[in-house]
Amino acid sequence: MAALETLDAATCALTATLRNHGVEMHPDDVRGLAIDAFGLAPINWRVGLSRMPIDRLDGREMLLWAGYAVLCSWCDGWRDPVGRPVRGATHWADVEGPGV
């Protein structure tokens, strides 16, 4: 099951449980509880490496999509944890969070 489907299923289950106990909450709040309770969060993929902020090239770990998800860092080009070059990446996501 994909992460978003799992998150949606967890949100539905949590909503039903809360309603069963007489608790009404906004769907976004229930989704937040589901993320916390089940440790789920969709990856916030961003398109276009050329639009990546320059501070992401400081050696921090980033998640790239190059036909598969790969953890990388910048060192004269994108490299995986073993040091192999990663080519053809189209999307990126923060792993450590901005400014970390």
Kindly state the tokens that stand for 52. Answer: 């990546």
Please, what is the angle between helix 3-20 and helix 27-38, to 10°?
110
Could you read off the pLDDT of 17-65 as tens digits, one per residue? 778 778 888 888 887 777 776 666 667 888 999 989 999 999 888 999 9
Kindly state the tokens that stand for 62. Answer: 């980033």
Going from N- to C-terminal start, the domains of the chain cover 3-38, 46-94
Could you read off the pLDDT of 72-84 as tens digits, one per residue? 999 999 999 899 9
Residue type, 62: M
